[in-house]
Structure 1
Amino acid sequence: MTKDVVKRDIVRVPLDELHFDPNNPRFSRYFSEGDQPVDKVIERMIKAENVQELMGSIGEQGYFSGEPLLVSRTNGALYVVEGNRRLAALKLLSGLIKPSPPLPSIEALKADAKETPSEVECIIFEDRKDILRYLGYRHITGPKRWDSLSKARYLKQLKDTFYKDLPDDEQLRAIAKEIGSRKDYVAQMLTGLTVFDKASQAGFYGLQRVQENDVDFSVLTTALSYTNISKYLGLESRTDIDAHGLREDHAHDVFSWMFAQDQQGDTILGESRNLRKLSSVVANQASVEVLKREKNLAIAYLHTEGPANAFSKTLDGALKKLNEAYDLLPTVDRFSEENKAALAKIEDQASDISLLVTKALRKQKMGGDTDA
């Protein structure tokens, strides 16, 4: 801990007097939504942060007092700024809070517990901002790092708490220095947060298969580093923190391509390494139309080089597949009527394509003779 944290007095506080921090970067959005935020915090702790393991440890060995909770006093109430996972484990173990619906695993841990603390060691601060910088050390550069969305929310808190009176460039420079990073990284994270929050406020543009938990924030911020994607979204650059020009229609497209999952759990983007292809696609209106229609990034990407190149590459791919089928022939011990029917369709389709290409070539030659 920092010297400022260490030198303060440690006091024991009853669990029922301690509250989850509504400004915690990991789950502050639950409190802004207003609908039973504590239930959502507990759900996150159970699903994403393995609070049961901590409950088992505390129930078996008691609470380790060597690392007190860091608490701020606001309007007379005590909010745990650092240590919300531990607070969740303690409150679940003591029965002060209960998941809804009840979980057998939680009930079993409570029943088996040898220790059920009713109070916990805390260090109390009169102002939450006195703890913010310690959080940066611990969760940005330290041993218990937050996910990228939580980091971005923390950076915004730093910006709004300590640097709001500085010019924009100096704000970024100061934050970057504080977390040991670059100002362009800070700006890109904050821009990503603005885009994310605007999408969230807009209900992710009516996309039924996109919820907050479906959005990989690190993929979103990485996408902004591609100039074509930033421009398609209506941003001036990847460091356009206010994002005043964000185009909702294009944001709808990007979120649907990157995060909407099909029945198999796949997205149109697939892996994040395909962002390079998506960047090429959004720079070409014809390719965008293909992507909207076909919902296939590989096909849309072929069209970024023009229809002629897309056609040639598609033929090359088809020929390669047919060659692979030919090479497999000696290893096949039994064929089916379905195989024969598929080959007949391929033959018919190839014949139709050949006929159309032949006609087109004839017209091209006639046109060429006339021009001469």
Structure 2
Amino acid sequence: MTHSVAKLNTLKLDPLNPRFEKAFSNETDLVVILKELFKESDVLSIVKNVLQQEFDLVEPIVVTRDINGQWLVLEGNRRTAAFMICSTAEYAREVGLDIKSVLSPTMEVPIFIYETREAAQKYLHKRHVSKPHGWKPYAKNQFLYNSYTAIEHNKFHRNSIEQLAKDYEISVPNIYLALVCYLVFEEIKKYEFFYFLIETKKIDYSVFTTALANPSIRDYLGLERDLNKYHDVSFIQMKRKIDLDSLRVFTKIVFDKSYGKNGNKAILDDSRKVTKLGEIFDCDKAVEELLNTKNIDTVYSNLSDLELRPSTSVSPSTSLSPSTSVSPSTSLSPSTSVSPSTSVSPSTSLSPSIQLEPIKPFFSAHVSKKIYGLYKKFMESVDKETASANVSPLIDYLHKFKK
């Protein structure tokens, strides 16, 4: 690492900043990155300090050269964005501010230079990951994932993870957990289990990570109970183990506030209830009861009775046999509340080994995409909070067919 200075207009914001959930690239326009950073990372408070001349340039900005030879900011993106906004009227307008430029685009700022991004990883980890008030949990997990994939692409490998754990002074199981949390969350976003009803920036990601630290919950999702078994397995193989029906139920319980009690809290509204939820997930009947009552404490208190009760319901993780005949005359009224274990037709007899998927036999994947498109337009034109209670049960079934 060497110390130097650089002109402000020669600095480039980092498109791979762990704070971003969107996938940016080196070709992404600077304004796009600037707007995302301003929207999500409280750049405005720094802008106000600059306008009031309550800032200094003592702390250097950490940079490296990108593939085009530009100075790429690895640490200090928020400060750099604020300086850009305060030095260029066009940037200020792009983020919705009407302010006069108080800085010069050619002003010199102190920089620390690392030869590569990888060389700066330990510094960034100490600054943002190991500190309690560093990056938020999602950004920390994304940082560890990016650090890991830089040395071991697309695979869990014990030796590489042990090396990363040694470099960052984190236990091996916690490295595994960070990688698994990141990959599972990306699967949730990939299948859009949030139904357009949840803003990912407003969810409690820490509750999600606490939940995945529970062995029973990982087992319910189709993942290994023992974190030490995650090695020498490709990411693709790991993700294929995830049971998508269970993942959809888990997502609703952990994230969907419209589905929880009184429509303003998720069912798992407190990380201290994760242990109870883990025990509930060990019992299929208890999971069904939880989806009906939406109360973890109540279901947990009745867990012993539920475990003794014979199960006649259909498991959410079973799939409908292609040979199963479902009557096309079966209809779903708008007010019908459908849970993953609910039978469509009262007269249809299903054995416990057959899972209910009522939409797939009726419609091709193409038609399902059409229906999903109509749903999206509908949700964009109405009050989402009001509509979610009526349409989300139907979307539970349509969602899995949208690729």
In structure 2, the partner of 1:61 is 53
Q: Which structure 2 residues correspond to residues 148-163 of structure 1 after superposition, within 5 A?
A: 148-162=137-151
Aligned residue for 2:304? 305
Partner residue of 2:205? 217
User: Compared with structure 1, are the counterparts of its residues 99 and 201 closer, same or farther at alpha carbon in structure 2 (3 Å cutoff)?
Assistant: farther
1:257 is aligned to 253
Are the counterparts in 1 of residues 254 and 269 from structure 2 also a CA contact under 8 Å?
yes
Aligned-partner Cα distance in 2 for 1:29–1:287: 36
- TM-score, length-scaled by structure 2: 0.64
Q: Deviations over 1:130-162 (max 9, x none)?
A: 222211121122586111111111112221224
Task: Name the CA shift for 1:143/1:214 in 2 (closer, same or farther; >3 Å).
Answer: closer
2:75 to 63, 82, 85: 82
How far apart in 2 are the matches of 1:118 and 1:265? 49
What is the distance in 1 between the residues matched to 2:265 and 2:135?
26
1:141–1:122 Cα change, 3 Å: same
Give the equivalent residue in structure 1 for 2:216: 228
- Report if aligned partners of 1:229, 1:282 keep a CA contact under 8 Å in 2: yes
Structure 2 residue ranges without an equivalent (≥5): 310-403
Secondary structure class of the residue paired with 1:173 = helix
In the alignment, residue 128 of structure 1 is paired with which amino acid? R
Give the alignment's Cα RMSD to 1 decimal: 3.2
1:97 match:
91
1:11 match: 5
Identity of aligned residues (%): 24
Amino acid at match of 1:230: R
Amino acid at match of 1:270: D
How far the C-alpha of 1:179 sits from its partner, in A, is 1.7
Structure 1 unmatched runs, 5+: 311-372
Amino acid of the residue matched to residue 21 of structure 1? D
Q: C-alpha separation between the residues in 1 aligned to 2:43 and 2:288?
A: 46
1:271 alignment counterpart: 270
| Matches of 2:132 and 2:282, distance apart in 1 | 41
Question: In structure 1, what is the Cα distance between the partners aligned to 2:71 and 2:58?
Answer: 20
- 1:87–1:143 CA distance, 2 compared to 1 (3 A): farther
1:350 is aligned to none
Alignment match, 1:175: 164
Q: Secondary structure at the match of 1:158?
A: helix
What SS does the aligned partner of 1:97 have? helix
The alpha-carbon distance between structure 1 residues 81 and 163, as it changes in their structure 2 partners (threshold 3 A), is: same
Question: SS of 2:6's equivalent?
Answer: strand
Between Structure 1 and Structure 2, how many residues are aligned?
Answer: 295
Paired with 1:299 and 1:41, the residues of 2 have a C-alpha distance of 47
CA shift for structure 1 position 257? 0.5
Q: Give the AA of the match of 1:273.
A: R
**Partner SS state of residue 306, structure 1:** helix
1:146 aligned to 2:146?
A: no
Whole-angstrom distance in 1 between the partners of 2:36 and 2:165 = 33
- Give the structure with higher Rg (CA): 1
Alpha-carbon distance, 1:209 to partner: 2.7
Which protein is richer in helix relative to its size? 1
| Counterpart contact for 2:83–2:103, Cα < 8 Å | no
